Structure 1
């Protein structure tokens, strides 16, 4: 999609001079996560420009609510102004683009002040946070957190998978940000799996209670009870809640691989993380293959041989450009 057109549509909408057709066109952009987040940052800057000496806190959800309210009002046939000059809006759009980049810079710069711990592939890390909460971090995962929790909430940022044992503090909720989802707890035990190269996120509650929200406003403080797992699919935004076996979900802590109706591409990803290797495969070819099984002390070759026999694929072991062992998978799929 054309980014310049997006800035123009955003500017006209925030100026109150967008037609119904243009608003619908903007809404199509906002179906994409990238443009949605960019719009909300621009929207907040627009609001702040009209609030002198006001230290307003940036709020994604409030910005999205304002947008949706505006769209609803326009569909109720509220008169809108016509555009007199596109040049003015391109100029404003250029300014907004700069403002958006500045906000993004500030946002990411603030995250640079966080402590970052990464478990490289082939390793698992366990450590305590400043509040005493205990973290087990799966291979190929990163957790970011402040050196000291001195705010009203204890907020951390997860990419990958971790098991959280949160220290109870009713006055300071513990919030895990993973992709577009936030998981809020006071004192509880839960597992979050949110790898960027997989098409869904899972949040599995073992003990206590958590509240889950997302940036799409399709979830707001959704309650999970013990032994319930929430699965959220990135491409469709579909959400399901089901019971789960905790031994299956947390088997990675014992460096075990346990699969139940698992898509083969995710099995390959798990193998790569556990053994610290690279795996190359065609996701489209193997996406319909499902795996049930458990591997505990087997070598990577033994695991591949079992899967090869069951799913009829071939593999070749070589070395990638980084000097890591590379497994190249070939086959016709299921």
Structure 2
């Protein structure tokens, strides 16, 4: 027997599987997927819908509890249409009564078709994503963006560079005269001015990127597991060291990215493994690699250990994860202009964990 999305979102066992609250239900639906791999898309759509609905119900209850002491409240969803009324009752009981909210689930199918796993809302108060600051960087200078900050840099040759949070860009002392070399630690989107006589070369820890005039994104944080170069326009060459020389590993085409694992990122010594793969797209217009430029945080099946690094840079916080199981919880989610507390609360709805915030220090635990 196979199930439809509508059947799954009102199935108590499937809801427990999505919220990871019952080991027997988790095993049941993992086994179901093994027997029915063709149902993977349906399962994923229903899972997104269940978690999106759960999130919105919890958020609405929190808002109503803070503003209305009456025993009954009207329930609204994103469309603003009236859905119904419910009497005040424990959150756990209300979330388990999913059949009552089948109509709400139907209204929320847009979450699935839009590919949104956890909803986001613009214009939230509190700590938000960084706003770019414009500046110039001359030859021999070093430009830096602090955690929680973005900077737009203009080089002497009119190349435009957007630095993501927690990034350092050093410009060669002979830039524009003998070379166009820059040295990057962090992440930056390059819009390189054309100059065939002086190729533009970005130096990162394990390789170089050579361009004449093009647009590409380079991600090379020291604490990330991978370094990436994503090509948006034109062509770039990936140069790998060989002895005292550099050799061309690949010439990237548009919508390709070069990926190199960073063996020292997790204190694990492994051999470098370069590869070229297609860019990943969140929808038809937005690739995930440069979503940060549009103030989007997009996580695609990433462990919390990796998400932690991104959140630390974006929100200028320090996060400690005290439980190894929690560190390896994997999430798919999209956020925009959410405060760090809202991001963590949303992630909690998929896999349960607790956190406490003391200033800029956040501790995540089981």
TM range (shorter): 0.5 to 0.7
Would you say 1:327 and 2:355 are equivalent positions? no
- The answer as to whether partners of 2:305 and 2:328 remain within 8 angstroms in 1 is no
- The answer as to whether partners of 1:255 and 1:274 remain within 8 angstroms in 2 is no
Q: What is the distance in 2 between the residues matched to 1:277 and 1:267? A: 13
Structure 1 residue runs of 4 or more that deviate by more than 6 Å after TM superposition: none
* Corresponding residue number in structure 1 for 2:232: 206
Question: Normalised by the size of structure 1, how large is the TM-score?
Answer: 0.60
* Corresponding residue number in structure 2 for 1:194: 220
- The answer as to whether partners of 2:140 and 2:174 remain within 8 angstroms in 1 is no
Could you report, residue by residue, the CA deviation over 1:57-113 in whole angstroms, capped at 9, with x for unpaired residues?
A: xxxxxxxxxxxxxxxxxxxxxxxxxxxxxxxxxxxxxxxxxxxxxxxxxxxxxxxx8
**Aligned alpha-carbon RMSD (Å):** 2.1
- The answer as to whether partners of 1:152 and 1:171 remain within 8 angstroms in 2 is no
- CA change 1:209–1:302 in 2 (3 A) is same
* Corresponding residue number in structure 2 for 1:240: 275
If each structure's helix is expressed as a fraction of its own residues, which one has the higher value? 1
Would you say 1:145 and 2:180 are equivalent positions? no
Could you report, residue by residue, the CA deviation over 1:116-165 in whole angstroms, capped at 9, with x for unpaired residues?
A: 11111111100211111000000001101035524443100000000000
- The answer as to whether partners of 1:157 and 1:176 remain within 8 angstroms in 2 is yes
Alpha-carbon distance, 1:290 to partner: 2.3
Unpaired runs of 5+ residues, structure 2, are 1-138, 264-270
* Corresponding residue number in structure 1 for 2:57: none
Could you report, residue by residue, the CA deviation over 1:9-68 in whole angstroms, capped at 9, with x for unpaired residues?
A: xxxxxxxxxxxxxxxxxxxxxxxxxxxxxxxxxxxxxxxxxxxxxxxxxxxxxxxxxxxx
Would you say 1:230 and 2:258 are equivalent positions? yes
* Corresponding residue number in structure 2 for 1:170: 196
Task: Kindly indicate whether structure 1 or structure 2 has the higher relative contact order, using CA contacts under 8 Å at least 6 residues apart.
Answer: 2
* Corresponding residue number in structure 1 for 2:60: none
Q: What is the distance in 2 between the residues matched to 1:286 and 1:182? A: 35
Q: What is the distance in 2 between the residues matched to 1:216 and 1:199? A: 22
* Corresponding residue number in structure 2 for 1:302: 342
- Count the aligned residue pairs: 214
Q: What is the distance in 2 between the residues matched to 1:222 and 1:298? A: 38
SS in 2 for 1:237: coil
* Corresponding residue number in structure 2 for 1:249: 289
Q: What is the distance in 2 between the residues matched to 1:196 and 1:283? A: 23
* Corresponding residue number in structure 2 for 1:281: 321
